[in-house]
Chains A and B, each alone.
Chain A
Amino acid sequence: MKHRHFVIQPCLLLLLTLTTLLALGLAEKPKTRETQEGAEPESCESSGSFWGKDSDPSSLQEFLKTTVFGQSEDGAKGKEINEESDNAWPRPFLSFLEARRNDWIESLNNNDEPDTTSSKNPFLSFVEGIHHTIESLVESGDEKAIANSSNEKILSQVLEKVRSITHKEESIGFQEFISIMTDALKRVTKQIQDNFGDLLATNIDAYIALAIPYYAMNQDAAHSPLTKRRLHRFYQTVTKNEWIDLHDALYLSHLAYVDTIEQFETGLDDFEDGAWKKLDGTTQSFPDLPASFLLIHKELDPMDGKSKGGGAFPGLEALQETLQKIKPQKSEVLVTLVVRGTKQISDLLSDGLLEPEEYRGGHAHGGILASGKNLAKKYLPMLRDLHKITSELCCVWYLNLNATLTIISIWSYIFHNHF
């Protein structure tokens, strides 16, 4: 009885899913096409994709005919396919699913041991059914070209829109700059006087200078490598891979110290095969606002695909992989904010405010607290706009599937827990 219950419910769900899928798909179609066409930027800076190398409509048509829709010599047929494609699902999604279908078939063919579980288990049958349904919606297409073009296109639009936002920022006049600097200098001087004034006035003499090398020797002996080894022996060691990842972050931190924006961009091009693009940034710092650079990864959802799940059920695994492949087409965007350290006088003034200030029930370094808050204040609107833009651009056609996949996820989760 229980098994029959589990067979009927997935069938009903499958029906519901298909209905939702088709309904949402039809409803979203015009908007998707409009977005894809309207979103084509004039100044696309892509590399390695069709959109970047040529924007000529005739070559686009040729590209679509030869690469996306197959190498048909028949013009009429090509036109027919083009017309059909107008009513089809968004290409990037289809291309991904097409690739997953091939993988799926291949994985089934390569499976030496007969998978008896999937045919017997109603849940796995359901999963396979859903997977095949998704597959059946897949049309042929050039996955890489379309995916790249989609990502580059989105990125170009994001860059364009975010830059238009950042250009609205007003620059500070010279007089105001001097006033800010003077004010910061006064605050730093006052804090130094408060902290060390009494000490420096009454106890500093020439003997202090003589003491420095001997005090250093004494401290060195107290912090010898052997002592440190003993102190650290019960703590977890950082692995090589962690160091490699951290070194990437160090590269960007170091790059932030360059003198000009151009130097920064050149350095950025050499980093991770030019995978990053600068959205905004300045080498000029102010007291309480360090120089910083906002970067975006050219690939959408670049952190994905790093964690692969394995399991006893090939059906589940394949569906999971398919879903994983859909993920890069969603709106998760990797953004990096690189903040420069102390380089200019204004940075020193931020550093100099050592006195702790109250912050969230605790205390924080006064000068840096103000810098951090100002940094967040500066970039929050930009990030909010970026989120809005990427969500709009990336998710229009994704919404077609969102409802369906959520239903699948809920049901599969419940089933998985029951089995």
Chain B
Amino acid sequence: MGFPPIRWFLERDKIRLVIIGHSLGAGAGTIAAMELKEHDFLEVEAIGFGCPSLLSRELSESTKEYVTTVVNDADIVSRMSGSSMTNVLLDLMEYDWTHDVLVDLEFSLERLKEVFSDFRGFLPETSKALEWFTKRMDEVVRPTIAKRAPRGDKLPSVLIPPGRCIHLFRDGYGTTGTYTPCDWFSSVEFSLTLIDDHLIPTGYNRAMLSAAQDSDRDYSVSTIRLFSR
């Protein structure tokens, strides 16, 4: 036990201010916290959900004591800055998707023949269709992609989320949350859930409830049990 130190008596006369926000609110709240922190009569803390990439690394580091940022899985807003968006656009332009589309096409044609077995004769032969598409890809699409590719290095990411970051992520069983470095969120994670993850009802609320429920469970134990049977 520590007896109340002198500081205990001197710090009484303060207003304890907690700034809370989501998205833009989290970002603006963090800046407001940084501004208000300078005033002695306030004891400021900020909690943000889905805060945009807001501060440069050193500044983000300097707010660790009083700012907490929760980032849900692939939430795009927390990773969104001018440079990260430009980089993702460059990635998208440079990505050679021709092989993926051929695999997709082969699978789709086979499936169509299964579903519409009565009209099988009207559908093109898979190998011939793939050959035709491959030729088109080589002649038109691949040169276009190749023209875009040599653009040099990506832009450096200047901004990251502020303070102490918590990353909620789908771990394969449920949802887990860990304290992670904020510069993990300096580039966009292009996922189909990047918008849903940012919203409160479909993203943060679901993930946080799941993480709270899953926090007591040890899935590794159940996996071992499964294999030991």
Contact = CB atoms under 8 A, between A and B. Distances in A.
Contact of A250 (B81, B176, B189, B200): B200
A316 B1 contact: yes
A347 interface: yes
A215 B190 CA distance: 8
A250 B216 contact: no
B13 A335 contact: no
Interface stretch (A28-36, A96-104, A170-178, A372-380): A372-380
Given A223-B191, A238-B211, A361 B9 contact: no
Contacts of B92: 208, 211-212, 215
B205 A195 contact: no
A57 B41 CA distance: 37
Chain B's interface size range is: 35 or more
B132 interface: no
B82 A364 contact: no
Contacts of B177: 237-238, 243
Given A216-B191, A290-B25, A376-B36, A229 B171 contact: yes
Contacts of B47: 246, 249
Interface residues of A, number: 105
Q: How would you classify the secondary structure of chain B's contact residues: helix, strand, loop or mixed?
A: mixed
Interface string A325-350: 00100111111111111100001001
B9 A406 contact: yes
B211 A372 contact: no
Nearest to B53: A365
Interface stretch (A4-12, A68-76, A408-416): A408-416
Contacts of A390: 15
A372 B209 CA distance: 29
Contact of A338 (B20, B34, B70, B159): B20
Contacts of B9: 402, 405-406, 409
Interface stretch (A45-53, A114-122, A199-207): A199-207
Contacts of B91: 215
B2 A338 contact: no
Contacts of A331: 12-14
A371 interface: yes
Contacts of A218: 95, 100
B32 A375 contact: yes
Contacts of B212: 240, 243-244, 247
B192 interface: yes
Given A210-B97, A253-B21, A380-B36, 14 more contacts: A195-B86, A211-B93, A211-B95, A232-B169, A237-B177, A331-B12, A332-B13, A335-B16, A335-B17, A338-B25, A339-B25, A339-B29, A347-B24, A383-B39
Please list the 6 inter-chain residue pairs (A to B) with the smallest Cβ-Cβ separation, ordered nearest first: A372-B31, A311-B1, A341-B23, A339-B25, A225-B172, A376-B35
